[in-house]
Structure 1
């Protein structure tokens, strides 16, 4: 199968807005090449295993999305084009340039690996690509990962927010549901903290990759990976439900949350772009939840909620 790689170069201020446009047309994930963020990572020591040389600050970022070349491609490209034109009207000072190429599935599955490096998150998590070597500390909780073609390397701000919260919330013996598991990184992290986890995704590729990563991390006794509609394939209730998806899908999940979340349970919702956070908060209140914590990272928001 062939895929269309669509790369949008945009002024750094428009990074989140363009990323959100890709999600709106059904793109399961995006990559962001942000020179300023890369330099910040290097200077902070987050990527302390590699030398990237001098990083030039261009004032722009490159947002890449991958769309299947199927019967829906033309409609999605038209929708993206119209949305980008609207951005140009609203922000005429922004640079917005678009180009697209066709890539084979096997090329897409491996090309991004040059940018995925060992990364520390929170106090103890060390995300380790399978092809990289690290010297872990004694207290490190290593998350061995090969995302393949599934969304989620763990370095995106939305996933970082979730990992930091899991480190604080999860206790041994808890039951956790991970909705839209992607590469399985959050499910694996919860399992390594002692939880019993059920990971769900609509995408069979994601479930296959999740199972491979479960095996890599030797946590198969603690995690079951299930293919199906988010929430509908789960039985019983969890102490914690995690959904690192997008705002619209989170809003769709809320009516079903009563069935799968315990009365004293908690809900972690991430993947919410900053300008949609208020919509999700309103939806949560209408569903009977109260937001007890709100965190932001690089224009993305995580909401932690409980039943009122």
Structure 2
């Protein structure tokens, strides 16, 4: 069997969205080459040795996927170009947006790309562990198992890791949580493992829900998390004490129109996926709907902002 390696040079903002497009196209594996993340690893001392130099240009991320070379390949590549162009139409910057292809001989991609993923501890308690590694929890650590071969959103991206840090403080035992734009389901899983008992995980893209359910079963939390396709919160029921929205700025801005109907009076909105240039737009929308900032984190050009309704 032959494979087509498809590479897209893009922005940090578009990285996970493009990874999801590849997943929808049936990619066997996706690799994200983020120079910021590589720099972090080099300076963190997590590698015993590396001759990789520190990158000085960190704005461009390369997303690679592997598609089977067959009669459907040309159609998939055309669909890819259309979907990437549609992101631009939604206001997502994909610059430079250069797409290249390269035909490769057969290889077991599921094993090759495991070298990029290792056990991580983004917060004080949560540990994200690939399914193929072993790890013994220390003290009150909480283990979440994620297979990046099956889903995107493994806790390594700044937007997700900031959310994880906040969830460690925000989630209370027995609380009701809505996870809007759940992606891989990682934040819902973490909320469940921290004690939330009624969680509704929704995503506009119905194709990701099968992967979410697999991840719930892997972590034994399927009894407390329901999964559904939904445009924002149209298909959630009742009011939650915590709403999580790790998506993009434009979608978060739309979310405020529905928030009062689905968030308890003293509830909390945790948002992330907000690129630095769009922070003011989100803050303006929040203020227009009567929501004020409780806490704001920034990391690698991204913001994670917690809101509450103002008195």
**Cα shift at 1:108:** 7.8
What corresponds to 1:304 in structure 2? 306
Would you say 1:19 and 2:12 are equivalent positions? yes
**Cα shift at 1:136:** 2.6
**Cα shift at 1:208:** 1.1
Partner-residue secondary structure (3-state), 2:12: helix
- Residues 146 and 74 from structure 1, CA distance in 2 versus in 1: closer, same or farther, beyond 3 angstroms? closer
What corresponds to 2:57 in structure 1? 60
**Cα shift at 1:251:** 1.1
Written as runs of structure 1 = structure 2, the 5 A alignment for 1:82-231 is: 98-101=98-101, 112-196=113-197, 197-231=199-233
**In the aligned structure 1, how far is the partner of 2:200 from the partner of 2:86?**
35
**In the aligned structure 1, how far is the partner of 2:251 from the partner of 2:36?**
30
Unaligned runs of 5+ in 2: 23-29, 68-74
**In the aligned structure 2, how far is the partner of 1:86 from the partner of 1:200?**
25
**In the aligned structure 1, how far is the partner of 2:307 from the partner of 2:184?**
24
**Cα shift at 1:201:** 1.1
**In the aligned structure 2, how far is the partner of 1:246 from the partner of 1:169?**
21
**Cα shift at 1:224:** 1.3
- The C-alpha deviation readout for 1:264-295, integer Å capped at 9, x for no partner, is 10101100001101100101111221112111
- The C-alpha deviation readout for 1:69-109, integer Å capped at 9, x for no partner, is 376544456688999x996xxxxxxxx693422799x9887
- Residues 273 and 86 from structure 1, CA distance in 2 versus in 1: closer, same or farther, beyond 3 angstroms? closer
> Would the aligned equivalents of 1:180 and 1:244 in 2 still touch at CA under 8 Å?
yes
After TM superposition, the score normalised by the length of structure 1 is: 0.79
> What value does the CA root-mean-square deviation take over the aligned residues?
3.6
**In the aligned structure 2, how far is the partner of 1:159 from the partner of 1:264?**
24
What corresponds to 2:234 in structure 1? 232
Partner-residue secondary structure (3-state), 1:234: coil
**In the aligned structure 2, how far is the partner of 1:206 from the partner of 1:3?**
23
> Would the aligned equivalents of 1:148 and 1:209 in 2 still touch at CA under 8 Å?
no
After TM superposition, the score normalised by the length of structure 2 is: 0.78
Partner-residue secondary structure (3-state), 2:231: coil
> Would the aligned equivalents of 2:20 and 2:152 in 1 still touch at CA under 8 Å?
no
- Residues 176 and 28 from structure 1, CA distance in 2 versus in 1: closer, same or farther, beyond 3 angstroms? farther
Aligned pairs, number = 287
**Cα shift at 1:31:** 6.0
> Would the aligned equivalents of 2:181 and 2:203 in 1 still touch at CA under 8 Å?
yes
- The C-alpha deviation readout for 1:110-129, integer Å capped at 9, x for no partner, is 76433121101111111001
**In the aligned structure 2, how far is the partner of 1:297 from the partner of 1:217?**
28
Unaligned runs of 5+ in 1: 9-14, 88-95
**In the aligned structure 1, how far is the partner of 2:189 from the partner of 2:94?**
40
- Residues 24 and 183 from structure 1, CA distance in 2 versus in 1: closer, same or farther, beyond 3 angstroms? closer
